[in-house]
Amino acid sequence: HVQLVESGGGSVQAGGSLRLSCDASGFTFSRTCLGWLRQVPGQEREGVAAIYSGGGTEYCDSVKGRFTISQDNAKNTVYLQMNSLKPEDTAMYYCAAKYGGDWWIGSDSWRYSDNYNLWGQGTQVTVS
């Protein structure tokens, strides 16, 4: 069935790195926007990065130059490589998908959790 499963979270010291993976099943990445969003208790879920089926990417300002989103179409997996981690990166990280999300290119739609219609269970990232 259609699902997203994240892995790769954990605890790391400031300045360290983690790579999150999101394995997709039941659908392909064609015409789909895949995003990574994060949430801290008491705050709204925020878009961190997104990738479109053509390979275009988006990043929030706070992670530009430190995080890289990528996808492997053969493995149906999307990754978030996180380098130079900071304590403020501590959050639950979610993988999300929106079929037809390719039309978001050039807009801020990728940032907003309400725009996605498929979610993973989340993986915790803690930076100390």
CA distance 19 to 10: 10
Select the more confidently predicted residue: 54 or 63: 63
SS3 9: coil
Amino acid at 58: E
Q: pLDDT by residue (tens digit) across 12-23?
A: 999 999 999 999
CA distance 93 to 126: 10
pLDDT at 28: 86
Return phi, psi of residue 63, to 5°.
-115, -5
Q: According to DSSP H, which parts of the chain are helical?
A: none
Q: pLDDT by residue (tens digit) across 21-56?
A: 999 999 889 899 999 999 999 999 999 999 999 999
**Contact predicate 52/101, CB 8 Å:** yes
CA distance 72 to 91: 25
